[in-house]
């Protein structure tokens, strides 16, 4: 599946468009630094090669990459990704599935957990 970088998130997880058999993974990452063009968060820079490699295969599940903003935006406790999407750490890789007809978060890896290749592979199965 392709890696989507232009997904517009709905106002809640319950509004994510998923079929009963599908999974959606969302990677919440820092936005690129305007000068370096790299994510401003060093943990995100470390995790991105692992995320890209894992989701690059044709048979990989769907992944959407969501940028949470620059450091001042991310540090704001009212940041929408902190409040609506319960993201307290970046990078965060979150799995959503339909459970009993409702879209639900069914797993989450954060920061250094994403660097563990076996843990990452087990997470996406």
pLDDT reading at 84 higher than 70: yes
* Residues 51, 109 contacting (CB under 8 angstroms): no
H or E element that contains 28:
strand 23-29
Where do the domains of the chain lie, and which CATH numbers do they carry? 21-124 (3.40.30.10)
The 8-class DSSP code of residue 32 comes to B
Active-site pick, 16, 24, 26, 41:
41
Q: Which tens digit of pLDDT belongs to each residue from 38-58?
A: 999 999 999 999 999 999 888
DSSP labels, 29-42: EPPBPTTT-SBS-H
41 is an active site residue? yes
pTM: 0.92
Q: Which tens digit of pLDDT belongs to each residue from 90-110?
A: 999 999 998 888 889 999 999
* Residues 96, 87 contacting (CB under 8 angstroms): no
> Which among 95, 99, 98 is positioned nearest to 108, based on CA atoms?
95
pLDDT at 42: 97
């Amino acid at each position: 599946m392709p890696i989507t970088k232009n997904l517009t998130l709905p106002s809640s997880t319950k509004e994510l468009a998923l079929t009963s058999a599908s999974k959606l993974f969302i990677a919440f990452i820092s936005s690129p630094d305007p000068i370096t063009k790299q994510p401003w968060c060093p943990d995100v820079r470390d995790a991105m090669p692992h995320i890209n490699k894992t989701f690059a295969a044709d048979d990989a599940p769907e992944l959407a990459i969501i940028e949470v903003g620059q450091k001042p935006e991310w540090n704001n406790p009212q940041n929408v990704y902190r409040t609506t999407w319960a993201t307290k750490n970046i990078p965060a890789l979150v799995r959503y599935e339909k459970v009993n007809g409702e879209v639900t978060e069914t797993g989450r890896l954060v920061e250094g957990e994403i660097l563990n290749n076996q843990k990452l592979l087990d997470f996406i199965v």
